[in-house]
Amino acid sequence: MRIAFFGTPEFAVPTLQALARTDHTLAVFTQPDRPVGRKAILTPPPVKAAALELGLPVYQFEKIRSAEGCAAIRAFGPDLYAVVAFGQLFSEENLSIPPLGAINVHGSLLPLYRGASPMQQSVIDGQAVVGVSTMQLVKRMDAGDVLMTAETPLGENETYGELSVRLAELGASLFLKTLDALERGDLTPQPQDEAKATYCRMLTRDSGKIDLAASRQVIHNLIRGTNPWPGAYALLGEEKLKLWRTVLSDAEAPSGLPVGGLFGDARKGLFLHCADGALEITELQAPGGRKLDGKAFLRGKNIVGSVLS
């Protein structure tokens, strides 16, 4: 089978690598190289780097809907699309090309969390069980029939970054399982229940702002769900203090310390007083500084007694 693979970030790489181990003929379509970092070094997307290592042909388009994009796909002549976090919308013409359609790997248990940030939002919302779905790609975002799903429990302290690595591997395995079923004529697409559909937007830098009046579980989930990007933060004076990791704690705040206050010491650790208890801050970062655990941070800068806002 000739398969056109569409993907861009690291999340898509395991599925590409899994497909490359099969006997199918592949061509890879991804987004253009982008400037990265303070020096704006032009950097290929992870899928391109992986494809070149695998010796696969790579095509990059700013808009796959363009005439040039459609022409390149037609020239390859795919039987099927494999789509994993490509980051662009397909046109009707794009979707009409492969006779077997398009299979998309999505990082949620559809119809939950359609949209741009399904894994992050699953963590932010504190879901106990998460997973991946394969679905038929249609023009309307994440609304196609579900082909297969795979579930996994979410760890109580697991971050979005850690979950993304696990779901990328789970998605690769599920895609191969779906592809095998397709080849056997064994797939049974299931329409999504629109009444149960939920949506999530793309996160922005401001998505990590902590509401210090919220419960400690809500704050903990936000910190996990925005790690590694955009990072959760609160203001210490006029500076952003990034909180990267926390755990629920039985520590009791000193009498009179307001919600948002910091307590502890370099021996016991650093704690945040929340409306319904405490969180231990196990990793944090001051502007321009390195990520440090709470104890190490206090040895360099004693912020005990300060109140975040």
| CATH for 138 | 3.40.50.170
| 203 Cβ neighbours under 8 A, 6+ residues apart | 116, 117, 120, 226, 229, 230
Here the CATH number for the domain that contains residue 281 is: 3.10.25.10
For position 12, what pLDDT does the model report?
Answer: 98
For position 283, what pLDDT does the model report?
Answer: 98
Give a yes or no: residue 34 inside a domain. yes
The distance from CA 41 to its chain's CA centroid, rounded to whole angstroms, is 23
Q: Is 171 helix (H, G, I), strand (E, B) or coil?
A: helix
Q: Is 240 helix (H, G, I), strand (E, B) or coil?
A: strand
Please give the Cα distance from 260 to 262 (Å, whole number). 7
**pLDDT tens track for 49-62:** 999 999 999 999 99
| 256 Cβ neighbours under 8 A, 6+ residues apart | none
Single-letter code of the amino acid located at 301: K
For position 121, what pLDDT does the model report?
Answer: 98
In this prediction, the residues of the chain whose per-residue pLDDT falls under 50 are none
Among candidate residues 166, 200, 234, the one where a domain is terminated: 200
For position 237, what pLDDT does the model report?
Answer: 95
Please give the Cα distance from 273 to 211 (Å, whole number). 13
Among candidate residues 176, 200, 224, the one where a domain is terminated: 200
CA dihedral 67, 69, 72, 74 (to 10 degrees): -70
Residues 273 and 210 in one domain: yes
For position 45, what pLDDT does the model report?
Answer: 97
Among candidate residues 165, 200, 235, the one where a domain is terminated: 200
Q: Across the strands, what pairs with 233?
A: 209, 242
Contact (Cβ atoms closer than 8 angstroms) between residue 198 and residue 117: no
